[in-house]
Amino acid sequence: MTTPSRITIIAGNWKMHYGPRQASRFASEIVPELGLLVHQNPHILSILCPPAISLSAVCEVMDAHLFRGIELGAQNMYFEEKGAYTGEISPPMVRELCTTAILGHSERRTYFGETDEMVTQFPAQHVKKVVVAYEPIWAIGTGKAATAEGAGNVIHLIRQLYGEMYGSEAAAALRILYGGSVTPDNISEFVAHPDIDGALVGGASIKSDFVEIVRKTIEVMQQ
């Protein structure tokens, strides 16, 4: 069982799905139910990460429902504050609507050449705000998820390494999620594992399955 005082995070990475109109429709479908679920449980946080162009549309739907516990995230951002960087969005821009940004996703590295050097351009004081997602590349979008035990072992190791770099207090506070073919059928195993603090969900986050994933997570938290 997850420790009740720790926040479990279920984030949905919509990837390149849903422009503003479709995003608004889909958000209107899931936000009311999702909102009710997370509203009743202060230890879960659900983050929706639509494409950048659809952030405002989803934000409007969320504002209309005024639920605590659902936040917005960007799928990527560039580290400069502003300037001649065609096509990019900056941290201050993201901050206007979002609490979170995904950085260094393996698809950004594979298709857009992002490197560790680019991803780690943020000042060290922000390290406390980082949430790590462990996503084995072979599990992303393949329908072949890791086992909870396997993911838990790697996550345990990540926490240890993080502790060596930033101290044991920071390591204990660090949230580490599992990602890769998470579905309503396997989420319970992952969130029941004591080392796993939630999930980064891709394919299942653009369907009503996402609400089911959150519902099952809450069931595990209440056991």
**In the complex, minimum distance from the CB of residue 146 to ligand PGA, in angstroms, rounded to a whole number:** 11
Q: Report which secondary-structure segment, H or E, holds 8.
A: strand 8-13
- Choice among 105, 107, 189, 193 that is catalytic: 105
CB 218 within 8 A of CB 188: no
From 75, 203, 209, 213, residue interacting with ligand PGA (rule: CB under 6 A) = 203
Buried b / exposed e across 142-163, counting CB within 10 Å, b at 16+?
Answer: eeebbebeebbebbeebbeebe
Q: Is 105 a catalytic residue?
A: yes
**In the complex, minimum distance from the CB of residue 82 to ligand PGA, in angstroms, rounded to a whole number:** 28
Q: Is 114 a catalytic residue?
A: no
- Return the bridge partners of 131, or none: 175
DSSP reduced 3-state for 199: strand
The DSSP line for 53-75 is: GGHHHHHHHHHHHT-TTEEEEES
Select the span of 32-40, 67-75, 110-118, 179-187 touching ligand PGA (CB under 6 A). 179-187
From 44, 155, 174, 182, residue interacting with ligand PGA (rule: CB under 6 A) = 182
Binding mask 21-60 for ligand PGA (x = CB under 6 A): ----------------------------------------
Residue 152: what are its φ and ψ, rounded to 5°?
-60, -40
From 35, 136, 152, 202, residue interacting with ligand PGA (rule: CB under 6 A) = 202
153: Cβ–Cβ under 8 A, 6 or more apart, which residues? 195
Rg (Cα) of the chain, in Å, rounded?
Answer: 17
Rounded alpha-carbon distances, angstroms, from residue 28 to 106, 159, 200: 29, 37, 21
Select the span of 35-43, 50-58, 151-159, 180-188 touching ligand PGA (CB under 6 A). 180-188
Q: Is 201 in the site for ligand PGA (CB under 6 A)?
A: yes
Closest to ligand PGA by CB, 106 vs 163, is 106
DSSP reduced 3-state for 88: coil
Select the span of 34-42, 61-69, 73-81, 200-208 touching ligand PGA (CB under 6 A). 200-208
According to DSSP, residue 7 is labeled P
DSSP reduced 3-state for 52: helix
**What one-letter code names the amino acid at 55?**
L
Q: Is 69 in the site for ligand PGA (CB under 6 A)?
A: no
Binding mask 106-145 for ligand PGA (x = CB under 6 A): -----------------------------x----xx----
Closest to ligand PGA by CB, 141 vs 167, is 141
Note the residues at the interface with ligand PGA (CB under 6 A).
13, 135, 140-141, 179-182, 200-204
Point out the residues that are catalytic.
Answer: 105, 135
